Structures are given as C-alpha cells and as structure tokens.
Structure 1
Amino acid sequence: METSAPPIEALIVAVPETAGSALYGMVDVLASAGNLWEELAWTDTPYHPIRPRIVSPVDAPFVCGNRVPVTPDQFVGDDPSADIVILPELWLAPDDDLKGRYPDVLDWVRRRYHAGSSIYSACSGSVMLAATGLLDNKEATSHWGYEDLFRTRYPKVRFRPEPPLVFADPAGRIVTAGGTTSWHDLALHIIARHVSPGEALRIAKVYLLKWHSEGQLPYAALVRPQPHADAIVRRCEEWLAEHYRDAEAVTKMAAIAGIPERSAKRRFKVATGTTPINYVQSLRIEEAKRQLEAGSVSFEKIAADLGYENLAFFRRLFKRSTGLTPGQYRRMFRPFMEAGGGTLRGP
C-alpha cells in the first residue's frame, strides 16, 4: 500500500518509573506498522502510517526502570500535539497512587484529550491516567495487582480486573489495557483502529503477538494480603490459611477469634474488603489452581480434597473466579510446569 498522507503522531510518555520493555516495545511495534511485514513478505510498498516518539517531563536523557536509558524526542513543557498519547507500564508499588508527582504531565494529558487526542494506557499506566481525573465515573482496567489501589485511592473509577482492554467512552478515545504484556493487545488495537485491522493482523504475525482473549482472571492471585491494623482479623487470616479445607472454617474462625461470629464476619469484611466465606473459597481455588498446574490428578479428586461434595458448584465457582474451566486452566498453565520442572507457587 502506498500513501501520501502524513503519519499519525503518537507520543509515548516516559518518566523514571516507566518500564523500559513496554516503552521501547511500543515504539518498535508501532513504528513497524506498514513496513515490516511488507519488507519481509515482499507483498507491498513499505510505508510508515504511525510515527511513535517519546515525550518526557525532562528535556534531557535519563534512565527509566531497571536503568534503561531514555532520550526523549519531545518535552512536555513545549506542549507538543499528537493524535495519540500513550501512558505505558510503570514500576509502581501496589499502593503507589502517583499523586503529587508529574503535575505537568497530567495537565498536558488533559489538554491533549480536550484537544481531541486519543488517550491510551497500558498496565499501571492507568494509575497515571486515573490521576488526571479523565477516568472519573468511567470504566477502566490495569494489572490485577492494582485493583485495591483503585478501590481505595480512585473510588470514582469503575475498575474492571477481567478484560485485556476496556473502553472508557463510546467513541473509544480513552482505552486502558490490563496486565504487563497487555501492551501487545493495546498496540494491535491502536494499529487496527488508526491504520487497518489487516495491518494489525500482519504485525501480530510478524511479532508472534497473542491476543489475550482469556483476559486477566487466569493470571490473578485471588488472595492478596491487605494492610490493616486489626490484630484479631490478622489472626483469623492466619488460621484460615491453614484450615481452609475445614467445612466449618468460618464458624471455627470466629471461635478462635474469641468474639461472636457476626462480629467476626463484620470486622473481617471491614479490614480485608471481602467476606470470610469468599476468602475461604479463594484459598480453596488457589489450591485447586496449584494442583492443576503441578500434577495430573483429576478435578474431581481436587474438589473432594478441598471439601466440596458438589462438584458442579465448585466447577462453576472455579470458572467464575478464573474465567476458565478447570480443563482449560490446566491446558493453559501445565506447559509451564513441564518446561520448568518445578512448582510455580505455593498453596
């Protein structure tokens, strides 16, 4: 395909917390649209429909995550324009909301959106996007590890941990992508939307990029420690971690806590954000996942080992929590165990 149209300007934000692999991976893939497949397959005249460049709040070279060197092409202080603005993955702690940092970047992103730019974020880049306020009262996603951060620090954002991409508005001008390598999905979406679906398919073939149609649920840890100061609830969590197979786990937990069961359930929910029964079920599903990954024992035996007599109920619970049937989960993750010869996670 030959075209005389000017390239689409895509500015990718880089700050010291930016993950270098996501930053330069996005630059590389977007710059290859229209030319890499055409050159390798000799199918058409190469062209460059997208021009990706790096924009930064500092007008000088610096290093980002894991000391990857960055030389910005544009300076936020110059208020550069762009058709596309991308906020890639950041190295952030699960409770780091970025508030108070990079106000010039946040102001620039807001101006670009109101000027008509399409705004995209990948993984924890959505934390920076949330800090702009552009996600308020809208749906968004990020890595599943930031779900609690969004719930507590950005409660106006309707966080969805399941899908690889979430469209915040009907026009698709704000799109967030999920976990770490979901920038692959985002790059393919950008190429499909701004160049053509056919070109996105060709780029996927060249780079062997896989669309994560299964979403994020199969990868998510269902049990994550929540910081809180309730010593009784902490004792309950520790007891449940050892006795989650017990059919009367919740009732016995309350006895261990030394307070009425109703009070124990209420305090547990306030401290952890989930109910004791949901916590127990999550522990059981995590153990089922571990056994599916590590061995060939049947799901029926796994369910019985975890105290479930109603196999159909546990199968439905497993799929609702992971997005996959037990068989699909085993087929997806068993090859990692066969290749590595070890255990991926503990119970």
Structure 2
Amino acid sequence: MIKITILALDNVLASSVMGTMDTFGQTGVTWNFIVGHDEVSYFDINIVTQDGKPVKTRHQAAIYPNGSIQDIESTDLIMISSFSDYKTIETSGKAIEWLREQNKKGTTIAGICAGAYILAETGLLNGKTATTHWGFANDFRKRYPQINLQSEKIITDEGNLLCSGGCNSYIDLSIYLIERYCGQSIALESSKAMLHDIGRNSQKPYTVFQFAKDHADSKIKLIQIWFEENYNQRIDIGVLAKNFGLSRRVLERRFNAATGNTPLLYLQRLRVEIAKNLLEKTSKTFSEIAFFVGYEDTSFFRKIFKKHTKLLPKEYKTKFFRAIEVLPGH
C-alpha cells in the first residue's frame, strides 16, 4: 500500500483535495468493477491540514481532514493542494517547514497548480524546473527567479519533486503518479474509467497571451497600443522605431525589458490570439483569418500558430469551436 498524504491549505480549491483523493482512490476499484474483477486497493490516503482543523474554500465550504501534518509519521507521497488566494503563502509557514523535513526523509512531494508556490517557498525547487497555471507564470517568475519555470508544461518531474499546471491538472498529475507506482497498465485503466485523456503534456492550447502593460515605460506602452490597433499592417520595426523617436536597437532592448518579448514575437502572439478568437467564434477559414491578421502566406502563419498553441488550426477549431444553435423564431 502506497501511503499518500494530501495537504489541504487555507483558501483551498476543494477539487484539488477531493478530486485527487478520488483519482487515487478509484485505482483498482472503478475499472475492476466495470470489467467484473475483484477490487484492489493500491493507496492509503489521508487528508491533513497544518493544525488538524478544517480549512475553508473561497465559498466557505469546509474540508475536514483526517488529522494534522504532525500526525503523519511516514508517507510515500505528499500532494500539496491548490488555493485561491496568495495570502495562503503567508499562512503556510508550518507546512513549508514540514515539507522540508519530509524531503530530507526522501518523501516525494508534488504541488498542484498554485501548490507549486508552497513547494517553491521551501527552497527545494531552486535550480530545478517547475510549472504552475499559465496565468500565474509572470508572478511566479518574479517571486522565484532561481526556479526554471516551464509554464507551457502540464507536469514537471524532478524525481521526488513534481508540479502540475492548472487546477484540473490534479488528474494528470495523479494519473502520472499512478503510472509511477502501479505501472502503465493500471494508469491506462484509471484514465479510461475516468474518461481522461492520458498523456496531456502542454498548457499551450489553453494559454492566453498576457499583453503585459504593468511596467513603467510609457513609450513602450504606446507602441503596444499601436500594435493592437495596426496588427494587420505590414510592419517594419526599423521604421516603427524611427516613428517613435528610437533606434531599432533601443526599441528592441526596451520592449524586451518591459514586456519580456521582442517586438516581432509580441506581434506574432497578438496575431495568434486574434486568430484563436476567430477560430473559436466564427466560421472563417484559416486562410481568411491569416489574411485578416496580416499574413498573405497561410502556410507560414500555420507554422507560427502551431508553435504557440501546439495545435494545427484545424485541431484548435475542433477542440474549441462551438456552433451557436439558433432556435426557430429567434
């Protein structure tokens, strides 16, 4: 029996606790029931909090634990829950120290979504890779510059330190760990029983590019706005720089410092975001969309689109487009 401890924190996202428990707990149960085999228990699962008292979600629903972190004498795996408020980082001091102690014992520790912040606070991820929800990436990098954040990934694995991105990635991470502990066959059975697509490895199809304007460079903000209003024009960066009273070299340096992207990459991402929106909400062909956002060469833009989404335009449309049904008389 593999011992699993799920750490529930203040402002907990309930699914990252209860869903994780259910994913591990159904292993050897749901599939076996479906195919007429006897149930097999693979995991001994406990939910703990820092002090053994219930923790509440943002909507005041309570998660009742089996005990406190101090009640755990030994465990093979700790799953750190996700949470909905950065204040949780400040109130999790006891848990952070406990995680350091557990790491010294050789315990595997995994952070779900925002749970990666708690793992980062231990210092154990310094110099290592991590992931978290793509929407938190900029904040995470500012807080923990010594960690190699790979926010495009759904799972990062540093042996006994793992992270996953997005709250629902608790399923991906749990199935990944089921495969580690129980083998590929059991993991496949679990994923089929849960109707889960095993092997998802990228957040890119779900990521929305963040057009960072939380910087103090007013001229770069004006250029960003100019891009957003003129994205479908043929743009010469050298001419653009001159029009804003800068050299090309200075523009590129200041733009990258302010936004984290070169001007050309920023423009590419802007055009891809507009294309994604049109694929999601209209019946336009990709050739029409490519021309609309400023590309005459559809094949070239298709390559750019796949680079930033990990999907071909047709695959993206299949995944995200929903035709709006209009009822008769409306």
* TM-score scaled by length of structure 2: 0.90
Q: How far has the Cα of 1:109 moved from its partner? A: 0.9
1:60 aligns with 2:53: yes
1:68-100 deviations in whole A, cap 9, x for unaligned?
Answer: 2111212124454211100122214xxx49654
Name the CA distance, whole Å, in 2 between partners of 1:224 and 1:18: 29
Q: Which residue does the alignment assign to 1:128?
A: 118
Name the CA distance, whole Å, in 2 between partners of 1:339 and 1:29: 34
1:113 aligns with 2:103: yes
Name the CA distance, whole Å, in 1 between partners of 2:12 and 2:211: 24
Aligned letter for 1:130?
A
1:338 aligns with 2:323: yes
Q: Which residue does the alignment assign to 2:161?
A: 174
* Structure 2 CA distance for partners of 1:88 and 1:52, relative to 1, 3 Å: same
Name the CA distance, whole Å, in 2 between partners of 1:241 and 1:33: 49
Q: Which residue does the alignment assign to 1:232?
A: 219
8 Å Cα contact 2:49-2:55 kept in structure 1 = no
Q: Which residue does the alignment assign to 2:229?
A: 242
Q: Which residue does the alignment assign to 2:170?
A: 183
Q: Secondary structure at the match of 1:85?
A: strand
Q: How far has the Cα of 1:112 moved from its partner? A: 1.0
Unpaired stretches in structure 1, ≥5 consecutive residues: 1-6, 342-347
1:181-236 deviations in whole A, cap 9, x for unaligned?
Answer: 21111111122222232222222222212225261111101233342122222222
Q: Which residue does the alignment assign to 2:23?
A: 29
Q: Which residue does the alignment assign to 2:44?
A: 51
Q: Secondary structure at the match of 2:177?
A: helix
Name the CA distance, whole Å, in 2 between partners of 1:120 and 1:330: 33
Q: How far has the Cα of 1:257 moved from its partner? A: 4.0
Select which of 51, 63, 76 maps to 2:69. Answer: 76
Select which of 111, 132, 137 maps to 1:147. Answer: 137
Task: Tell me how large the CA RMSD over aligned residues is.
Answer: 2.3
1:164 aligns with 2:190: no
Q: Secondary structure at the match of 1:338?
A: coil
* TM-score scaled by length of structure 1: 0.86
Select which of 8, 11, 14 maps to 2:8. Answer: 14
Q: How far has the Cα of 1:295 moved from its partner? A: 2.4
Name the CA distance, whole Å, in 2 between partners of 1:151 and 1:97: 18
* Structure 2 CA distance for partners of 1:24 and 1:60, relative to 1, 3 Å: same
Q: Which residue does the alignment assign to 2:189?
A: 202
Name the CA distance, whole Å, in 2 between partners of 1:69 and 1:226: 38
Aligned letter for 1:85?
I
Q: How far has the Cα of 1:23 moved from its partner? A: 1.2
- Over the matched positions of the two proteins, sequence identity in percent amounts to 30
* Structure 2 CA distance for partners of 1:308 and 1:131, relative to 1, 3 Å: same
8 Å Cα contact 2:155-2:164 kept in structure 1 = yes
1:258-286 deviations in whole A, cap 9, x for unaligned?
Answer: 44444333222211111121111111011
Q: How far has the Cα of 1:145 moved from its partner? A: 1.3
> Relative to structure 2, which stretch is displaced further, 266-275 or 244-253?
244-253
Name the CA distance, whole Å, in 1 between partners of 2:247 and 2:193: 61
Q: How far has the Cα of 1:161 moved from its partner? A: 2.1
1:313-340 deviations in whole A, cap 9, x for unaligned?
Answer: 2121111111111121112112xx2268
Q: Secondary structure at the match of 1:193?
A: helix
For these two proteins, the number of residue pairs brought into alignment is 326
1:104 aligns with 2:89: no
* Structure 2 CA distance for partners of 1:21 and 1:267, relative to 1, 3 Å: same
8 Å Cα contact 1:30-1:51 kept in structure 2 = no
Q: Secondary structure at the match of 1:247?
A: coil
Q: Which residue does the alignment assign to 1:345?
A: none
Q: Secondary structure at the match of 2:62?
A: strand
Q: Secondary structure at the match of 2:75?
A: coil
* Structure 2 CA distance for partners of 1:253 and 1:117, relative to 1, 3 Å: same
